[in-house]
Every structure is written in C-alpha cells, then in structure tokens.
A and B are shown apart, each in its own frame.
Chain A
Amino acid sequence: MNAREAHLKDLLVRGLSGEAASYEAFLRELSAFLRAFLRGRLMRVPDEVEDLVQETLLAVHNQRHTYDAAQPLTAWVHAIARYKLIDFLRRRAGREAMNDPLGDEDELLATSDEEAREARRDMAVLLARLPDRHRLPIQHVKIEGLTVAETSKLTGMSESAVKVGIHRGLKALAALIRE
C-alpha cells in the first residue's frame, strides 16, 4: 500500500513537472485502482462504472494544480473519486425520481457482461459539442498530436488562445458530463 502510494506519487510529481510519459503512466495505473474502487461501490449499475472512471480521470487532470506534494496522494485521489461518485449518485437519483423505480423489468435483459467494459457515454461525442475555440485546440493538440504552434497556424488562433482553449475546453467537457 505504501509502496503503491510512493510509486504513484512519484509518477504524478514527475508528470506535473512536464514529463508526459510519467503522467500517462500515472493516469493509466490510477485508472485501474479507480475501476476497482468504483466497481465495488456501483454493484447495481456495473455498466456505468467506466463512465465514472473516465469522469474521475478528467477531474483528476483538471484539478491537478490542487495537488500539493506534501500531501498523501491517496487522500487527494480518494476525495476526488468520492466527490465524483456522490455527484453521480445524486444525478442518478434525480433522474430516477422522474421514472417509475419499480418498472424495471425491461432492464433485466438489457445489461450484459460485455457491455460492462465499455463506457456508455462517449467522450468523443461530448467533445464534438464544444465550441470551436475549445474543440479545435483539443482535437489538434491532444488527439492528433500537432504542436501548439502548428495548431495556431492551422486555426488562426494565437498560441496562448490554443493553450487556454485546451485548458478551458477540458473543464467545459467536465461540465457537459454533469448536465
């Protein structure tokens, strides 16, 4: 447990200093812990686990500036996962209140085990709903792998507008999920 904490923390701290490979390894290893943690708490809706894993990863990324290296990583990640889980359950309770909670015989055969491993909400679809000033920088830099300078030339946006667009766009993506 302590060795895992130290290992993940080292990856994150190096990621925060700009080492993309360490940061990717951090998110990848974290996603496995998050999946197990959330699966244990969402027994009744296993096919929504992956959605929440993705939502939590996005939150970890968007809020990474609030991590202080003097703080235990486990406490920080756990608080974010817990916040996102509670938010998810509240949204769900709100949705369910509008439906008949006992008229669920249609659901019995709707959820199969294969479906459980895929996210139901497609982030790519949500991404397409963002305005151009957010969507284009994310599309070119974060998905196609162009540099900020190349994206700036391609879109006619300034380099700082591209960087701000990525940052704000990923926050806007998190807000779209909450709708």
Chain B
Amino acid sequence: METDKLIAMLSRDAEPVAAGAVSRRYGLALAAGVAGAFVLMVAFLGVRPDIAQAAREPMFWVKLALPCALLAVALVAAARLARPGVRVGYAAEALLVPIGAIWALAGVALYSAAPGERLDLVLGKTWAVCPFNIAMLSLPAFAASFWAMRGLAPTRPAVAGAFSGLLAGAVGAAAYCLHCPEMAPPFLGTWYLLGMALPAAAGAAAGPLLLRW
C-alpha cells in the first residue's frame, strides 16, 4: 500500500477525538484500584477493630499521608509518561519529600527511644507480613494502572512501568493503613516503603513487556 493510500485510509471517516483521555483513564483506574484494594482488605484482613480510637491520633493520619503523597507523585508522573514528548520533570526527586519526612520522624523516634526498644520500633509485631499484604492489596490497582497506561503512549516503558507499579503500591498501602495496627515511624519508613517498592519493581520489569505500542 502506498503512503498516500494509507493516509487516505487513516483520515477517512476519522471520528472526533475527545480531549482529556489521560485524566479519564487514570480517574477510572484509580477508582477501580481503590475499590479493589478496599474489598480485598475487608475480605482477607479486616478493618482494625479500634479504628475509631486510632483515627483520633495524629500518627494515624501521618501514616495515611505517606502513601497518599507517594500516590500523588506517581499519578502526576504516570500521566506525564503516558504522553509522548512530555518531560517527567522532578518526579523522582519529589518522591524523596515524603520518604525523607518519614525517615526524619523515624530518626527522632529512634533517637528518643531507649536502646533496648529500638529494634521493636522497627520490627513492630507484623513486619514479616506487612510488605506482602501491601503488595497483595495493590494487585487490583496494578492491573488498573497498567490498563490505563496500555491505552496511552509511553515512550519509556520501564520508567512508565515503575511509576504504574508505585501508583498501585501506594493505593495498596493506603488501604492497608485501615487494617494495620502499627503506628511507629521506623516501622512505616521500612516495611511500608518496602511493600510499595515491590509492585514498583514488578512494574519496572513488566513495563518493557506490556507497554509496547
């Protein structure tokens, strides 16, 4: 087929294209991912019984703010990576703000604790299951954010996959906050971050396979 014929074919009867495809897809993906994470959390883990009490403590909200801040950065980065020719900007640097904040709080907590209590602050009672539970809760959002990205045009598939995975991990971690009894910053700065890093790493590996166009 000659190029002129291809052009005639592509332009014939071309439907109008609605603006806002990127935000529409990510809106849907986020709604599906959050709903899925919440359903999995209630079904397999359960909301912590003392949630009303816990919600009165500032630390509960600080804990929830950590994945929410990372979610916001991942969402902005993913929406930019989804468009050819748009720079990602300072997304990687922006990740250091919430991570640095939780590590600063962790440092204060460890410094002011008695030496014998420090390990308990890091390990809590649930360190062995926390990262895997977060990764499990992130599965619906992982599928949803890859669905969103696959319908768009990322030119850097590994990076786009990593931020898609981080987006999913942050949704999983936010849902896990409603179950998890741990409140110590050293715990959050270790196991929550690891739990979100697992889907981010999986996304970086899957990106080159799943995001070609």
Contacts and interface: CB of A to CB of B under 8 A. Distances in A.
Contact of B19 (A69, A72, A87, A118): A69
A119 B15 CA distance: 27
Given A15-B11, A61-B10, A54 B84 contact: no
* Size bracket, chain B contacts: 20 to 34
Contact of A163 (B10, B15, B18, B213): B15
A68 interface: yes
A15 B22 CA distance: 19
Given A31-B3, A53-B3, A69-B19, A142 B85 contact: no
Interface in B1-43: 1-4, 6-19, 21-22
Contacts of A174: 213
Given A50-B3, A57-B6, A119-B2, A63 B84 contact: yes
A64 interface: yes
A28 B4 CA distance: 7
B155 interface: yes
A76 B84 contact: yes
Interface in A121-170: 122-124, 127, 138, 141-143, 145, 147-148, 163, 170
B213 A62 contact: yes
B153 interface: yes
B209 to A, nearest CB: 13
A154 to B, nearest CB: 15
A59 interface: yes
A-B pairs, top 9 by smallest CB distance, nearest first, are: A75-B85, A18-B16, A79-B84, A24-B11, A79-B85, A65-B21, A123-B1, A63-B153, A76-B85
Interface of B: 1-4, 6-19, 21-22, 82-86, 152-153, 155, 212-213
Given A27-B7, A57-B10, A178-B212, 9 more contacts: A15-B11, A58-B6, A63-B84, A63-B213, A65-B18, A75-B85, A76-B85, A79-B84, A80-B85
10 contacts: A18-B14, A57-B3, A59-B153, A65-B18, A66-B22, A68-B86, A72-B85, A77-B84, A142-B12, A171-B213
